[in-house]
A and B are shown apart, each in its own frame.
Chain A
């Protein structure tokens, strides 16, 4: 066993501090240490995107980053995006347009989609498919995921306009 490291993270706006071995992968820190179980483990081999979180403004597969690498970073998981009492427009749209079936991929999908819409508030279908290519879904066939993201984009843009 190697020396434990003192690691600080800000997760969904809350400061967290703990001691961990350098080999601890961020997904385990989130799920098992901090009990933030929204990000899922689908493949554990960097392919499926179920573990996607946002780290310092980038979509990252948290199964492919050590907690030590994220030391000092801001992390957002699906829990930080919205919850049962305050659904994010993406969550609302996935529910409305059947963007999920089993739901296993959904936290990663929505976390990635939130970043995609931040970078490109008006994506075409092709841009959505390309921008979501790191997230795999075994159920939906993607059609309704694309629809959900389009609907959320429309909704978010309308809300932004109304606010201006």
Chain B
């Protein structure tokens, strides 16, 4: 399993990356951890003539936390997220999700930027970032812009990022309330059959707000505004859970594959979401 030949570059700064992207257009791709891209290149499903390795570009490996927001550089790895005690305190859902991605070797290499930029519906971080209402910062030849995670995904491997743009950071408003990342997979290290990211704010004994996103149940991650709305104002009792699951079903569109038929995926999605809401509520 050897990829088609390509030219390899390791620029020292973003200007170098951007000029290579401009020069080679469609034929060029950036690489972060390579743990989605290299397998695709080996299978010859991705044809990359000019590979631009981002590992030497400074300024994308930091996690910064201030009073309002958390900024995670695109090259921060899943292992970095797991090993950051302050982040685990401020946004524990990130750690809970990262621990359910792949296996230790992959988590040392896989980056947040690569995970959200990839556009594979199986990736866990896109849904997670939609739940947290993150913004993605992308830089292009002329300017830098912010794209909300909830507007980023268009179809499998199609995102709002232009080919000549590089994703540099993910910014998340500091999450409030209870959280849960719940994932059903066939074995450890597998992509989700269904996964749910939930953040819930409690006011007295009622739900004040809820944010819900689902993974690998459509060709994009699904932020289900309706599922969140079904919980607001309730005491998150059985009726509210049933309503939230029904609302979520209205938003997802799973297809049959080696993880099972559509009916099974809907069933699993319902169970996973119920568990996630219950756990998030118990922590709210």
Give A residues with C-beta under 8 Å from B. 1-3, 5, 21-23, 25, 44-47, 49, 52, 58-61, 64-66, 68-69, 71, 112, 116, 130-134
Contact = CB atoms under 8 A, between A and B. Distances in A.
A59 B104 contact: yes
A61 B79 CA distance: 15
B244 to A, nearest CB: 31
A23 B31 CA distance: 13
Given A64-B34, A64-B39, A134 B5 contact: no
B53 A69 contact: yes
B177 interface: no
Given A45-B39, A47-B189, A2 B6 contact: yes
Given A22-B51, A46-B39, A69-B34, A2 B109 contact: no
A21 to B, nearest CB: 6
Interface string B1-30: 111111110100000000000000000000
Given A25-B42, A65-B34, A65-B109, 7 more contacts: A3-B7, A23-B2, A46-B39, A58-B109, A71-B10, A112-B105, A133-B189
B38 A64 contact: yes
B9 to A, nearest CB: 9
Given A23-B6, A64-B38, A69 B188 contact: no
Contacts of B243: none
B55 interface: yes
Contacts of B10: 68, 71
A66 B38 contact: yes
B105 A52 contact: yes
Given A45-B42, A46-B35, A66-B38, A60 B109 contact: yes
B1 A44 contact: yes
Given A44-B1, A66-B8, A59 B108 contact: yes
3 closest residue pairs by CB, A with B: A134-B103, A22-B8, A58-B108
Contacts of B2: 23, 25
A134 B42 contact: no
A23 B188 contact: no
22 contacts: A5-B8, A22-B5, A23-B6, A25-B2, A25-B42, A44-B1, A45-B39, A45-B42, A46-B35, A49-B103, A58-B79, A58-B109, A59-B105, A59-B108, A61-B106, A64-B38, A66-B38, A68-B10, A133-B103, A133-B188, A133-B189, A134-B106
B120 to A, nearest CB: 14
Interface of B: 1-8, 10, 31, 34-35, 38-39, 41-42, 51, 53, 55, 79, 102-106, 108-109, 188-189
A59 B108 CA distance: 7
A131 B10 CA distance: 31
A64 B34 CA distance: 7
Given A47-B189, A64-B34, A134-B189, A23 B4 contact: yes
A61 B105 CA distance: 6
Contacts of A1: 5
A148 B102 CA distance: 24
A49 B5 contact: no
Contacts of B103: 49, 133-134
A45 B34 CA distance: 13
Contacts of A116: 104
Nearest to B1: A44
A58 B103 CA distance: 13
A123 to B, nearest CB: 12
A2 B104 CA distance: 33
A22 B79 CA distance: 26
A22 B6 CA distance: 7
Contacts of B35: 46, 64
Nearest to B51: A22
Nearest to B4: A23
A59 B5 CA distance: 26
Nearest to A108: B105
Contact of B7 (A2, A59, A69, A71): A2
Nearest to B53: A69
A131 B108 CA distance: 12
